[in-house]
Amino acid sequence: MVGLVIVSHSWKIAEGVVDLALQMAAEHKHIIAAGGLEDKEIGTDATRIMEAIKEADEGDGVVLLADLGSGVMSAETAIELLEDEDIKVKLADAPIVEGAIAAAVEAATGGSMEEVIAAAEEARGESKLS
């Protein structure tokens, strides 16, 4: 199953998004929060993200979703730090909440890494109002 890592500057947001995603895809056990700094202060840390990627990996790849600009940069740095590892990992260009839900459901139903990324990125265009 494709693993997911939720990168946010806030550990509360990352944990909350994971909780919500697990409500929609309870059978998915590798959705990992990588929010905040080690002391739960606001920020992102490439090393924490790298460890979350390793934890999320089941062999089918890992998709990252990040909240803001420096979160994206920290996620990209974490991916670079894992260059020598045998982990397929990509960052999705998707909204963190809607994208995580769509990605979790797609991954839980056996979607490939490309399908999981596509599901997350499609959430970008979904209207919240009818």
Mean pLDDT of 13-33: 94
**pLDDT confidence bin for 127, thresholds 50/70/90:** confident
State the residue for tokens 């990125």.
121
Residue 50 Cα distances to 27, 33, 44, 76, 124, angstroms: 23, 11, 11, 10, 25
The full set of domains in the chain, from first to last, is 3-125 (3.40.50.510)
Give tens-digit pLDDT for 34-86.
999 999 999 999 999 999 999 999 999 999 999 998 999 999 999 999 999 99
Task: Please compute, for residue 9, the number of CA atoms within 13 A of its CA located in the half-sphere on the CB side.
Answer: 9
Q: Tell me what percent of the residues of the chain surpass a pLDDT of 90.
A: 88
- Catalytic center residues: 9
Q: What is the model's pTM? A: 0.95
pLDDT value, residue 126: 83
